[in-house]
Amino acid sequence: METVDKVDMIKNHGLTASENLEKFLKRIEAKNDDINAFLEVRGEEAIKRAEEIDARIASGKETGKLAGLVIGVKSNINVEDFNVSAASKTLENYTGSYDATVIRRIKEEDGIIIGMTNMDEFAAGSSTETSFFGPTDNPAAPGRIPGGSSGGSAAAVAAGMCDLALGSDTGGSIRNPASHCGVMGFKPTYGAVSRQGLLDLAMSFDQIGPLAADVSGISLALDVISGYDPADPTTLDSSPDLEVERELKGLRVGVVREFLEVTDEAIDEVIQGKLGAMEDEGAEIVELDFGYIDLCLPTYYLINYVEFFSATRKYDGRKYGHRIEDVCGSEVLRRIHMGSYISQKELSGKYYKRALQARSLIRREITGLLSHVDIIAGPTVPKLPHTLGEELEPMEMYAYDVLTVIANLAGIPAASIPAGDVGGVPVGLQLQAKPGDDGMIVSAMREIASL
């Protein structure tokens, strides 16, 4: 059942919010011990919320756009009275004292927050293995990583534990796990969604976005959480137009040669098959070249290190839990040390400032390519998820991000939609568009999903 149809059913007495919630609570009870998608579930509060919504519907009162839908939230987004740990021992006892703007908007539209999902510690990772609370398994490919850092949110949707989930995307942290878990994930245009209440990884990259099993769920969630927020000066004055309707016929789809060249052959075959199906429906495939693919990862990570170092200075053990350097995992500590080193006055010009210059170059190049097409389509992740517990060198782990960091560097919208599988392991198709063209991507996702 499409998410939007479920909302209609709840509002029109075909299904109660309580019945919808109960199904998910049973699913979580049965599956979460094995998958570890949720770190905290607040069933009693969710039941009360569902009962309130049902009572309003029964009395003929108006309900919101998300009426009765059950939503998981990544553990780095503030939800009042929930444990907002960022999957770190640093904040293992921190309870949210307020709702992030996106959470407030979800509650205003009668969404039901069921719990907090697992993630890589402080969002520093691409596998959801660095969590202090243990790794998350991939429901779509058991024994493999679900991707990260929003792996718990993707796994929760894939395992049927909630209708929707929120993640945060710094360099692919929504799209990467969406691809690996066979669900849909969306990173909005930078500034389209408020970051107020998000525990930053890198403030100039971070965006909150939704994960869902269908396009209507993505569209509903974006409609609710997007929009100007006076509490976040980075937000745009207006929301993206999500009502765009474009058929595949006549849609100009850019395919970047270098994106395919850095991707495993088996994944390329799946992507080429989906591109061929789009072309059969009348899409115009336009071949593009991007000569800066090798520049993207070092540019992204140099900026990431510096901004992450700055963001973590507040975790000094005085106001927020433990001192981060005393209790964090190796990847978080690596990024803190690298950020501290690069931030030194005598080195910032050599590394950080050059990275900012490279970022501007990459942004110009990508927006230039997008001026010739409606969307760019290609693989979301260049390789299949590794098995849980497999030892990878840092650069091997970072390589998962080579195709997703580009959208964050450029501030453009991007999404991942299931494209097929390799030996039963899901593969995602990434769609990217011009800044503000979030609706173009949603429209393309809707058309592609029907192929």
Q: What is the mean pLDDT of the chain?
A: 96
Question: What DSSP string runs through 227-275?
Answer: S--TT-TTS-SS---------STT-EEEEEHHHHHTS-HHHHHHHHHHH
Given a cut of 80, is residue 337 above it in pLDDT?
yes
Tell me the C-alpha to C-alpha distance, in Å, between residue 265 and each of 190, 262, 332, 384: 32, 9, 32, 11
Per DSSP, helices labelled H in 109-150 are none
Closest CA to 216 of 450, 446, 447: 446
Given a cut of 80, is residue 335 above it in pLDDT?
yes
Distance of CA 239 to the CA centre of its chain: 19
- Give the type of residue at 144: R
In this predicted structure, which of 6-20, 145-159, 344-358 has the lowest mean pLDDT? 344-358
Closest CA to 189 of 256, 232, 241, 246: 241
Two tokens at 6? 């479920």
Q: What is the mean pLDDT of residues 328-333?
A: 97
Q: What is the pLDDT of residues 191-240, one digit of tens each?
A: 999 999 999 889 999 999 999 999 999 999 999 999 999 999 999 998 99
* pLDDT of amino acid 117: 98
Question: What DSSP string runs through 324-374?
Answer: HHHH--HHHHHHHHHHHHHHSHHHHTTTHHHHHHHHHHHHHHHHHHHTT-S
Q: What is the mean pLDDT of residues 159-166?
A: 98
Two tokens at 207? 């965006």
Sequence-distant (≥ 6) Cβ neighbours of residue 380 within 8 angstroms: 172, 175, 176, 178, 179, 403, 404, 416, 427, 428, 429, 430
Task: Give the active site residues.
Answer: 74, 149, 173
Q: Does domain 3-225 have CATH number 3.90.1300.10?
A: yes
Two tokens at 428? 């995602």
Q: What is the mean pLDDT of residues 81-97?
A: 97
Given a cut of 80, is residue 277 above it in pLDDT?
yes
